[in-house]
């Protein structure tokens, strides 16, 4: 008895295993058949199907391939055939193929938008890779637009991908935007955000705007169905000190990823006319607290310079407008290069390298924040962050004294020099200015900072 | 009796005869406002009948560095749109939201 029970359970088990293998094979066969069908009927767009099924069997215009590819969309009662059809007939422009644009483009391509445009003028860099997930290592040093377009085409060859390999300016924005139904702002700077919003108002296009920095993200749909524009909310640009960039403040890669995904979602909702787009509301994402808040924001402002009642802001005014001047910050992502000091208060990285080799007696103060100093620093540098410099002048004094003491024992004679370094050579100038006022008249900054050092003196010195 | 209440350090909100009633609100800081204050939120007490503007003034008095961004923020009271003249109530949450530009 016992042995026959064991035998029957073994047989049952084998039947289950074979059935599962059979259904796997059937799935693979049907996938291959559909692939073969696609090869034999490229780009038929559902118009001419050579089979027993007549074209009139699909009055909605979705081809068999589209039905299969987007079946999970079609199965959604609230999205369905109509949602997919609207999406496939819509065109969406994503400005910026970076941290926000990467996931937005991936999802928009995958979901079957009819035409997808990408604007960017940058090249892919190694320090983009942790968040700009549309790019692969093979594209480092090459155009972001080319890289993003290649990935989109690999994901969905049926979507028309348009490459705009240029910086967005007032001179080309109207022409580019006018070819699309919806604009997605995935840029990384204040002047671009004003320019994109204004251009959307002039052309009457809805704008899906996302932003991310550090561990926070923001998302809103502007200029949609009588809702506010960016300027209704922020008529005065933020002070330049508040215009932070990921390159300066850092950003956790997945944060723009989440906001970019939500931008794709809002763009899909607007284009397929499904659901309630995030207009008149702003989503605030706080990664550290794992919290998403949605706050109601003001409606369209009647006094808005651009979209208000009596606004005279039209295409001509847009083309004349100086967004860099308005926001006091550059449209390009190139970092700021200040010139606060006289040439005799500065030395080049090469010169500093020579003095270091010659054993010149000096103190090097690194004024970067402490967490920067921990990433990498020059040997024997003293870290006093710019923000705490005024309270820590004593440390500079004692470091100079110590150096003087060493020198007098070696009896070489010259004064102990005081140099200041930072990441790019802006804060070091601010620090030198301050030090000169506080009784260190010979303080000098190292031009171009550690970035310059890596560039001009020591190529093995890490950049970040 | 009165002395005893004062000894506890807070006003008796149910006893209506107080000279000046206080309401407690929570200010929430986002983005740049977090950097400038170094904190995510703060509780503050203002006289009953105070407006959003009064609260902002008190917040800036405590965190003067916030001054630089106040020209460019979205304000929300209990996650709803608000103006500077809105009267705040006890337990209200006032969010100060500067725009983020990064991406
Ligand atoms: Zn407006």
Give the ipTM of the model, two decimals please.
Answer: 0.83
Contact residues on chain B for A234, CB-CB shorter than 8 A: 72, 74, 99
The string of pLDDT tens digits covering residues A442-458 is: 999 999 999 999 999 99
Residue A382: strand pairing partners: A365
Contact A462, A374 (CB under 8 A): no
Q: Does A120 appear as a known binding residue?
A: yes
CA–CA separation, A126 vs A274, rounded Å?
Answer: 38
* Inter-residue contact A124 to A140 (CB < 8 Å): yes
Q: Across the interface, do A239 and B99 touch by the CB < 8 Å criterion?
A: no
The answer to whether A99 and A212 have CB atoms below 8 angstroms apart is: yes
According to the model, what pLDDT value does residue A44 have? 44
Proportion of chain B above pLDDT 90, given as a percent: 80
Note the pLDDT of residue A46: 42
Separation of alpha carbons A180 and A193, rounded Å: 18
C-alpha A172/C-alpha A177 separation (Å) is: 9
Task: In whole angstroms, give the CA distance from residue A411 to residue A405.
Answer: 10
Can you give the pLDDT at residue A41? 56
Largest CA distance in chain B: 59
Residue-level pLDDT at A47: 44
How far is C-alpha A382 from the geometric centre of its chain's CA atoms?
34
Strands of B80-81's sheet, edge to edge? Answer: B41-47, B22-29, B93-97, B74-77, B80-81
Low-confidence ranges of chain A (pLDDT < 50): 43-52, 54-57
Confirm whether A261 is a catalytic residue. Answer: no
Would you put residue A380 in left (φ > 0), alpha (ψ -120 to 50) or beta? left
Pairing of strands A362-366, A417-421: parallel
Which residue among A210, A289, A297 places its CB closest to the CB of B103?
A210
Exactly one of A199, A200, A246, A261 is catalytic; name it: A246
A189 marked ligand binding residue: yes
Starting at the edge strand found earlier in the chain, the sheet holding A417-421 runs A346-347, A444-446, A417-421, A362-366, A381-383
DSSP H or E stretch at residue A105: helix A101-111
How many residues belong to chain B?
103
Residue A410: the pLDDT is 64
> Distance between CA atoms of A373 and A369, rounded to whole angstroms?
6
Q: What torsion, rounded to 10 degrees, do the Cα atoms A320, A325, A329, A334 define? A: 60
**Could you give the strand order of the β-sheet that contains A281-286, starting from the edge strand earlier in sequence?**
A160-164, A115-119, A91-95, A182-185, A207-213, A216-222, A281-286, A291-296
Residue A13 among known ligand-binding residues: no
C-alpha distance across the termini of chain B, in Å: 59
* Mean pLDDT score, B75-96: 96
Q: Which residue has the higher pLDDT, A248 or B67?
A: B67
Task: Work out the number of other CB atoms within 10 angstroms of the CB of residue A400.
Answer: 18
> For position B5, what pLDDT does the model report?
36
Residue of A256, A298, A299 lying closest to B103 (CB–CB): A256
Residues 99-158 of A with CB under 8 A from B: 99-101
If you measure CA to CA, which chain A residue comes closest to B80? A296
SS3 content of chain B, % helix, strand, coil (to 5): 30, 25, 40
Contacts of B71 in chain A (CB under 8 A): 236, 239
Do B97 and B77 touch, CB atoms closer than 8 A?
no
Dist CA A425 CA A447 (whole Å): 5
Distance from CA of B59 to the nearest CA of A (A): 18
What's the pLDDT score for residue B90? 97
**pLDDT score of A418:** 97
- Model confidence over B34-44: pLDDT tens digits? 999 999 999 99
Q: How many CB atoms lie within 10 A of CB A216?
A: 24
Q: Which residues contact B101 (CB under 8 A, 6 or more apart)?
A: A188, A189, A190, A193, A211, A213, A238, A243, A244, A245
- What's the pLDDT at A5? 77
Provide the shortest C-alpha distance from residue A63 to chain B (in Å): 37
The CA-CA-CA angle for residues A215, A217, A222, to 5°, reads: 170
Q: Which position has the token pair 């204040």?
A: A190
Which residues are within 8 A (CB) of A13 and not within 5 positions of it... i.e. 6 or more apart?
none
For residue A293, the cross-strand partners are A284
Q: How far apart are CA A163 and CA A292, in angstroms?
A: 34
> Does the active-site annotation cover A422?
yes
Preferred mutation among A238, A280, A335 to probe B, highest tally of B CBs within 10 A: A238
- For residue B8, the model assigns a pLDDT of 37
A254 touches chain B (CB under 8 A): no
pLDDT for the residue numbered A180:
98
Tell which residue, A396, A437, A448, has the closest CA to residue A418. Answer: A396
The average pLDDT across B3-11 equals: 38
From chain B residues 37-76, the ones with a CB under 8 A of any chain A CB are 40, 68-69, 71-72, 74, 76
């Amino acid at each position: 008895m016992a042995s026959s029970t064991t035998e029957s359970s073994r047989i049952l088990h084998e039947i289950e295993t074979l059935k599962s293998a059979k259904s796997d094979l059937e799935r693979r066969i049907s996938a291959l058949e559909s692939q073969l069908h696609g090869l034999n009927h490229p780009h038929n767009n559902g118009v001419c199907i050579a089979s027993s099924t007549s074209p009139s069997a699909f009055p909605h215009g979705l081809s068999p391939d589209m039905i299969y590819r987007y079946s999970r969309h079609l199965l959604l009662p609230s999205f369905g055939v109509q949602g997919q059809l609207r999406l496939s007939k819509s065109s969406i422009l994503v400005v910026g193929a970076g941290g926000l644009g990467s996931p937005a483009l991936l999802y928009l391509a995958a979901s079957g938008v009819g035409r997808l445009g990408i604007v960017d003028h940058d090249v892919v860099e190694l320090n983009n890779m942790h968040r700009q997930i549309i790019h692969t290592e093979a594209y480092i040093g090459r155009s972001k637009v080319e890289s993003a377009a290649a990935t989109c085409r690999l994901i969905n060859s049926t979507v028309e991908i348009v490459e705009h390999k240029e910086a967005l300016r007032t001179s080309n924005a109207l022409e580019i935007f006018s070819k699309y139904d919806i604009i997605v702002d995935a840029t990384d700077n204040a002047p671009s955000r004003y320019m994109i919003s204004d251009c959307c108002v002039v052309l009457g296009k809805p704008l899906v705007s996302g932003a991310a920095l550090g561990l926070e993200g923001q998302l809103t749909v502007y200029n949609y169905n009588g809702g506010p524009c960016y300027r209704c909310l922020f008529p005065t640009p933020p002070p330049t000190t508040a215009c932070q960039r990921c390159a300066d403040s850092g950003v956790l890669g997945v944060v723009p990823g989440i906001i970019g995904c939500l931008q794709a979602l809002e763009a899909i909702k607007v284009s397929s006319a499904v659901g309630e787009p995030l207009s008149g509301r702003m989503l605030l994402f706080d990664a550290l607290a794992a919290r998403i808040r949605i706050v109601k924001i003001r409606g369209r402002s009647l006094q808005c310079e651009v979209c208000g009642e009596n606004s005279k802001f039209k295409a001509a005014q847009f083309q004349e407008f100086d967004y860099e001047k308005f926001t006091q910050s550059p449209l390009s992502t190139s970092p700021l290069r200040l010139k606060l000091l006289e040439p005799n208060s500065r030395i080049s990285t090469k010169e500093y390298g020579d003095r270091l080799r010659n054993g010149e007696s000096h103190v090097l103060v690194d004024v970067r924040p402490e967490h920067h100093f921990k990433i990498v620093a020059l040997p024997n540098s003293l870290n006093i962050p710019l923000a705490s410099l005024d309270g820590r002048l004593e440390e500079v004094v004692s470091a100079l004294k110590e150096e003087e003491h060493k020198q007098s024992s070696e009896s070489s004679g010259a004064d102990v020099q005081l140099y200041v370094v930072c990441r790019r050579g802006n804060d070091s100038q601010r620090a030198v200015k301050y030090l000169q006022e506080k009784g260190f008249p010979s303080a000098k900054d190292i031009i171009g900072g550690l970035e310059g050092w890596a560039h001009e003196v020591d190529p093995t010195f890490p950049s970040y | 009796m009165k002395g005893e209440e004062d000894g506890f350090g807070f006003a008796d909100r149910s006893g209506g005869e107080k000279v000046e009633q206080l309401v407690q609100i929570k200010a929430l800081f986002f983005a740049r406002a977090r950097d400038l204050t170094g904190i995510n939120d703060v509780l503050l007490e203002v006289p009953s009948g105070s407006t959003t503007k009064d609260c902002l003034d008190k917040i800036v008095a405590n965190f003067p560095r916030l001054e630089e961004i106040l020209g460019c923020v979205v304000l929300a009271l209990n996650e709803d749109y608000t103006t500077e003249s809105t009267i705040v109530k006890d337990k209200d949450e006032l969010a100060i939201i500067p725009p983020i530009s990064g991406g």
